[in-house]
Amino acid sequence: MNKIPYGRQHITESDIQAVVDTLKSDYLTQGPRIAEFEQAFANYVGAKYAVAVSNGTAALHLNAIALDVKPGDKVITTPITFVASANCVKYCGGEVIFADIDPNTYLLDIREVRKILEADIHREIKGIIPVNFAGRVVDIQAFRQLADEFDCWIIEDACHSPGGFFLDSDQKQVMSGSGQYADLAIFSFHPVKHIAAGEGGMITTNDEKLYKKLLMLRTHGITRDENLFENSLEFASGTSNNEQRTTSLSYPDWYMEMQELGFNYRLTDFQAALGLSQLNRAEEGLERRREIAKNYHEAFKNKSFIKGQSGLIEGHAYHLYILEVDDRIGLFNYLRENKIFAQIHYIPAHLMPYYRQFGWKEGDLPNAEKYYSQCISIPMFPSLSDEEQRFVMDKIDDFYNG
């Protein structure tokens, strides 16, 4: 058996061809593939607008700027996530408040969030960043009601859940990233995620104002849209300081304006071509992930080491398949010896040395910390073969039953 990682990208001949075609075209960055990818992605998740950016972290950063996070502002998120979910608040000088997880879902516990909001008498908390951890989609409808009560915005970190959904109060499917309840949602196209583009990210929203702001922020805060120009036509034409008169009624072709302090967070056209090609197979990949989850579930459902999120959940996108186990380090090492590279998701963000300096310490978030002591992510990716999966299940069984 070859080595089996916990996650792996899958690149086909047609993916390669799509990239090669773009490399041979006139555009390497911000060409036609970008808009195509954005449109196709918006359709996939059911959102009005999508903005492609260089990675998921850049997507989070731009969201925090677009939502006007400032020094002194506080934002709530979960400790069981990749640190980028929290870091975007720090980039803008804000403060991160970690709230504990629900031990059954591993997701940000809305009851904990409510408690924190109710205690925030000075209304310093401006937003909430729930994370669809492992691919299970948060009930954003419930979070929206809570956020509205306290005048907060919501960024849905949907990096683990493209194609996933939750059931709303009418039992209707609400797609992850659809923008129906969250102000903004973000995705990543890092190779371990569902859709791989090398690096890459996407922001989805139904809010036109935020959409336009994000388009500008991703490319230096510059606009070329004449309708948005603030300086006069005379100034733009270069005729305000001399005797020449402009006869033109429109701004000259070269003219553009930098109106905000933005960044270069663009995606390249060939990455978009790869993303687009992968997106065409996304449903297929998701089906396979759900099949793998079902197999694991069948194999482990009567075992004492299966806990928490591992049950089969409708709408779950199965980015990760997690077990909570006794003797986790023993199992981890045993799997390594058998060339199965399980992983741990995640070390609680509040206990990272960077966040400890703000006063976070062990014991602050008991559910997250207990979860961390037992969690292990076992191989979950569409190209995992049945034979490989069987090998993984047998080895786990061997470890516990000797």
Ligand X SMILES: *Cc1c(COP(=O)(O)O)cnc(C)c1O
Catalytic residue among 126, 193, 213, 307: 193
Q: Is 193 a catalytic residue?
A: yes
Q: How far is the CB of 6 from ligand X (least distance, A)?
A: 13
- Work out how close the CB of 213 gets to ligand X at its nearest, in angstroms, rounded to a whole number: 20
Are 177 and 156 within 8 A, CB to CB?
A: yes
Q: Which is nearer to ligand X, 206 or 271 (CB)?
A: 271
Strands 184-188 and 201-205: antiparallel
- Rounded Cα distance between 375 and 378, Å, is 10
Q: Interface with ligand X by CB under 6 A: which residues? A: 55-57, 81-82, 84-85, 131, 157, 159-160, 188, 190, 201
Report the nearest approach of ligand X to the CB of residue 322 (Å): 14
Residue among 160 and 328 whose Cβ is closer to ligand X: 160
Tokens of 3: 């080595």
Query: Whose Cβ is closer to ligand X: residue 53's or residue 236's?
Result: 53
Report, in Å, the least distance between residue 190 CB and ligand X.
4
By C-beta, is 50 or 159 nearer to ligand X? Answer: 159
- Shortest CB 301 distance to ligand X, Å: 27
The phi and psi torsions of 290 (rounded to 5 degrees) equal: -70, -35
Catalytic residues, by residue number, are 193
